[in-house]
Structure 1
Amino acid sequence: MSTLLQPPFSARSRGQHRQIDADFPPSARIGLLHLLADLVERRYLPDWTVVARELHRVGRFTLVKYDASSVASVEEAREDTEVALEGLEWAKVYDFCERLYSHLPQEIGYEDSYSGYTVEVSRGNIQEYIAIELQRLLLEEDLAYEFAEGVIRRRGRKHTVELVAKSQVVLGDARLLDARRHFDKSLQFFRHSTHPDYENSVKEAVCAVEAAGKTLFPMAKASTLGDLVKWLGGTADVSVPKAVCQTLAGVYAFRSGGEGVGHGGANGGKATPEVTEYLLAVCASQIIYLVDLEGSMEVNIPF
């Protein structure tokens, strides 16, 4: 549900060309503090003492003993929360966001002598609310991450996200299990919040294209994506424009010659975040195209 949110006007107006990576800036920390205050006021979190203790645990700060029954102690915890949030290393803030969703929410309910215990707001509904608000915060701050399925992961731009989602649909074909495994690995390498591996992300994305092509066109008897491209360019079974073949050959060339990507290549260019995201989108498009191309070869049998 949180992935359906769109960036607010302020984020759209400044553009999304350069998302904020490897950081959780001061403005985002202030936004997170406002969210915590909202959650405490709604009673979705027990109180500030629980928040402060978790921040101290995540940041490995000195343990402070609070008394939730003491107004002064709760106020101290609120102040400590602000201090801890300001001093927390950026990656640890994302760790805290995951813990905020998974461990801190409490169910809201009451018990009376007539109906027994009644749930007012379930823990699942509270988690859903937290997920939406965390995703909203990340979009507002134009951060390079999203909150989905309880974890922080690299977001990618809208175009890339849409193409990847479409490729996941066609990769649901049971025949393409190997290709799906490669593409899932590519996304995991790309989306890792603290240590993304762009070289391996590129390698696995191109391997996904190769695996899909070899499965869909066994008549090509291709050992590599390069072999498949040659077959596609010369066969009469399908019609593939020369420029499209060159695009397929291009990603294979980068897979083979990119710095640290494959075969010890050192002169083919670096797998930067921008290059990697571009290749992810291209590979997703190529997988969709190959599936459609194979479908065009099917012969309808009249009954």
Structure 2
Amino acid sequence: MTSSSPPPFSARARGQHRQIDADFPTSARSGLLHLLFDLIERRYLPDWTVVARELHRIGRFSVVEYSSSHVPSLKQATVDAESALESLAWEKLYDFCERLHGHLPQEIGYEDNYGSYIVQVSRGDMQTYIATELQRLFLEEDLAYEFTEGTVRRRGRKHTVEQVAKSQVVLWDSRLLSARKHFDKSLRFFRHPTRPDYENAVKEAVCAVEAAGKALFPMAKASTLGDLVKWLGSTTEISVPKAVCQTLNGVYAFRSGGDGVGHGGANGGKATLEVTEYLLAVCASQIIYFADLANSMEVDVAF
């Protein structure tokens, strides 16, 4: 989910605070413009006409004809690109970042004296460089998104990312197929760059916990997560602290009573960004805990 390179110093020094959501601020637009200048100087992009045309297409601006061999036309393309970067809606700029990575780079090479084509910089290497620089820009600007696998996604806090990654390993047990599907849906709802659905993200995350528990402890004969928690609190086969059972009951209660989350709940509290991210991390931890409990009962769970 995150870049393999460490965050820049400015991001590390800020510490943990609210990330910039539903926006692409002026400073980030300036940073993106600097990246475009860099890419054109490196010849990873042919020239400004390509950039201006793509920005105009994404913004549905008027079509402008440019000539790459005409200096005034190139200058006009540069001006038009800068203007488009300033005026595009924030979500369209994230669209442009994906297009910049996925469609605009062109391989650099030449034909030698023997008629063979020599690749100097491959398209894949260019895309790796662009992805790294976009991710760095997002971190420098404290945006609530990351650029990974060619896609803009909501990134989440470090702890959430780590717990989700660990749970993904556990969820590859063949018996946890249903739980994995629920958790994957939860992440898609949470990570959507322009229309995150926090209520459904919470619902699917808790459904993943329920599905995992029912699959790993069939002897409980539970039909709901609530039934499973009652069994965990009373069985002599394993020992689960009462406080942990209360935590499990807590996420199930929010799943049932949270505003718009499930069962028509309207008085259990709103699924905000902060609440949703907290519950994602908690649900991921609970899935891992269930797997550990199953292992302690000598159930063969793949990690």
Letter in 1 for 2:179: A
Once the two structures are TM-superposed, the CA of residue 136 in structure 1 deviates from its matched residue by: 0.6
Once the two structures are TM-superposed, the CA of residue 299 in structure 1 deviates from its matched residue by: 7.7
Cross-structure match for 1:218: 218
Once the two structures are TM-superposed, the CA of residue 116 in structure 1 deviates from its matched residue by: 1.1
Deviations 1:183-208 (A, max 9, x none): 00000000000000000000000000
Q: TM-score, normalised by structure 2?
A: 0.97
SS in structure 1 at match of 2:298: coil
Cross-structure match for 1:125: 125
Letter in 2 for 1:165: A
Letter in 1 for 2:116: G
How many residues of Structure 1 are paired with residues of Structure 2 in the alignment?
300
Is the CA contact 1:2–1:131 (under 8 Å) kept in the aligned structure 2?
Answer: no
Is the CA contact 2:154–2:191 (under 8 Å) kept in the aligned structure 1?
Answer: yes
Letter in 1 for 2:212: A
Residues 171/299 of structure 1: CA separation in 2 closer, same or farther (3 Å cut): closer
Letter in 2 for 1:281: A
Matches within 5 A, 1:280-299: 280-298=280-298
Is the CA contact 1:16–1:142 (under 8 Å) kept in the aligned structure 2?
Answer: no
Q: Distance in 1 between matches of 2:216 and 2:115?
A: 61
Residues 141/299 of structure 1: CA separation in 2 closer, same or farther (3 Å cut): closer
Q: Distance in 2 between matches of 1:5 and 1:191?
A: 21
- State, as a whole percentage, how many aligned pairs show the same letter: 78
Is the CA contact 1:257–1:266 (under 8 Å) kept in the aligned structure 2?
Answer: yes
Cross-structure match for 1:276: 276
Once the two structures are TM-superposed, the CA of residue 2 in structure 1 deviates from its matched residue by: 6.1
SS in structure 1 at match of 2:147: strand
Is the CA contact 2:257–2:267 (under 8 Å) kept in the aligned structure 1?
Answer: yes
SS in structure 2 at match of 1:3: coil
Is the CA contact 1:110–1:118 (under 8 Å) kept in the aligned structure 2?
Answer: yes
Q: TM-score, normalised by structure 1?
A: 0.97
Q: Distance in 2 between matches of 1:123 and 1:38?
A: 16
Letter in 2 for 1:222: A
- Report the aligned-residue RMSD: 1.2
Q: Which runs of 5+ in 2 are unaligned?
A: none
Deviations 1:204-236 (A, max 9, x none): 000000000000000000000000000000000
Cross-structure match for 1:114: 114
Letter in 2 for 1:98: E
SS in structure 2 at match of 1:240: coil
Cross-structure match for 2:142: 142
Once the two structures are TM-superposed, the CA of residue 149 in structure 1 deviates from its matched residue by: 0.9
Deviating more after overlay: 62-71 vs 182-191 = 62-71
Residues 2/210 of structure 1: CA separation in 2 closer, same or farther (3 Å cut): closer
Q: Distance in 2 between matches of 1:124 and 1:150?
A: 11
Deviating more after overlay: 110-119 vs 140-149 = 110-119
Q: Distance in 1 between matches of 2:280 and 2:5?
A: 22
SS in structure 2 at match of 1:4: coil
